[in-house]
Amino acid sequence: MINNRDYVSTGSVKKTFLAYCFVGLILIATGGDAEAQNKKISVHDPVMIKQDQTYYLFETGRGISVWSSTDMQNWTEQEQIFDSAPEWTYEVNPEFRNHMWAPDITHHDGTYYLYYSVSSFGRNASAIGVATNTTLHPDDPDFEWVDHGPVVESVPGRDLWNAIDPNLTIDDEGTPWLTFGSYWLGMKLVKLQDNLTHVAVDTAAEWHTIAARHRYWKLDERDAGDTENGDIEAPFIFKKNGYYYLFSSWDRCCANEKSTYKVVVGRSKDITGPYLDRAGKDMRHGGGTLVIRGNEDWAGIGHNSAYTFDGTDYLVAHGYDLSDEGRSKLIMLEIEWDEGDWPQVSLD
């Protein structure tokens, strides 16, 4: 349960339009017999982490939903993080009902940092909060989530960006950065203080746009996207091969069989970019190399995270299962790297 030392806890709301996506199965596909790995748990916007021999999965849901597993296949539901929303969330959204979107989990210097989104569909009256814990094991006597309030907030009429879909990255120099964003004018990156709970005080030159799309762009068949929209969200940075890889999701999510979600990627030697796709196109100007998209079985696949567990790299995402009315399910795929050090995943 949350122990809100910085704010008093009470009620909340979130992506209510996603609610219908949370009834269904989770598929964990690691490249073998995917059907045999079907598990009856609900998931959307999944992120994962491992402590000792237990994997923990956090996802969009009331109070942030949590699952645990010892084999990444059989999952047990844990108690939600927030029984009720921190009081500060009502300043962002007076009608918030504790439905928190798109969490991100990181372990750094002995502390677990759980970032989460407070918003409502179609608006950029949004904020990213953070809670911390010294352990993820609920039976540990030190288990206690402490909320630290908002890290960054977007305000209608002031900001043309949206403070949701957070992802923390520590760069090679040890500097913490938060990337975030959904639609509007793209994916942003901002430097944090060393406490990882507040934006750095010297941020005048430390706000960066790292990916964006615009509706008037016409993409050729080489590109991954839908030429009729500029949808982009869910940035996630993964360090590998001497690069920072920026994954992002394009096109329509959360529409069951009508979803067109897909994952694209670019990379940079510098965390602030520019992030270029395989063809050298800047992700700030619509670039993005396709990683995975829907097929005859999946209407769309997206909102991914990426990790290395026990020496193997994984892409974790959710997809819309066409055999089950397009309900959202977890997909976990091994990442392979081609001769050019670009990520490759397959549903086969």
Tokens linked to 21: 């996506």
33 pLDDT band, cuts 50/70/90, is very low
pLDDT tens, position by position, 227-246: 456 899 999 999 999 999 99
Q: What is the mean pLDDT of residues 260-278?
A: 97
What per-residue confidence (pLDDT) applies to 203? 63
Categorize the per-residue pLDDT at 205 as very low, low, confident or very high, splitting at 50, 70 and 90: low
Question: Does residue 338 carry a pLDDT above 90?
Answer: yes
- The band of 120, judged by pLDDT with boundaries at 50, 70 and 90, is confident
Output the average pLDDT for the chain: 86
Token pair for residue 335?
């990442």
User: What confidence category does residue 185 fall into, taking pLDDT thresholds of 50, 70 and 90?
Assistant: confident
Q: How confident is the model at residue 31 (pLDDT cuts 50, 70, 90)?
A: very low
- pLDDT score at 160: 86
Catalytic one of 104, 153, 223, 233: 233
Residues of the chain with pLDDT > 90, as a percent, come to 72
Among residues 45, 153, 231, 277, the one annotated as catalytic is 45
**Rounded to an integer, what distance in angstroms lies between the CA atom of residue 135 and that of residue 6?**
19
pLDDT of residue 41: 72
pLDDT at 216: 47
Nearest to 97 by CA among 82, 85, 115: 85
- What's CA 69's distance to the chain center, in Å? 20
Dist. CA 68–CA 56, nearest whole Å: 5
Following DSSP, what letter does each residue of 157-226 receive, concatenated? TT-SS---S-EEEE-TTS-EEEEE-BSTT-EEEEEB-TTSSSB-TTGGG-EEEEE---TT----TTS-S-
pLDDT at 215: 55
- The fraction of the chain above a pLDDT of 70, given in percent, is 83
pLDDT digits (tens, 9 = 90+) for 137-159: 999 999 999 999 999 999 988 98
| Element spanning 68, H or E | strand 65-69
Q: Between 14 and 122, whose confidence is greater?
A: 122
Residue 204 scores a pLDDT above 70: no
Phi/psi for 285 (5° steps) reads -120, 35
Residue ranges covered by each domain of the chain? 2-344
Question: 2-344 in CATH: which number?
Answer: 2.115.10.20
pLDDT at residue 184, as a whole number: 85
| pLDDT band with cut points at 50, 70 and 90 for residue 295 | very high
- Catalytic status, residue 233: yes
DSSP 269: S
Q: pTM to 2 decimals?
A: 0.86
The dihedral formed by the CA atoms of 170, 174, 176 and 181, expressed in degrees to the nearest 10? -40
* pLDDT score, position 2: 47
- Cα separation values, 283 from 176, 191, 266, Å: 22, 20, 7
Residue 12 scores a pLDDT above 60: no
Does residue 144 have an active-site annotation?
no
pLDDT surpassing 60 at residue 340:
yes
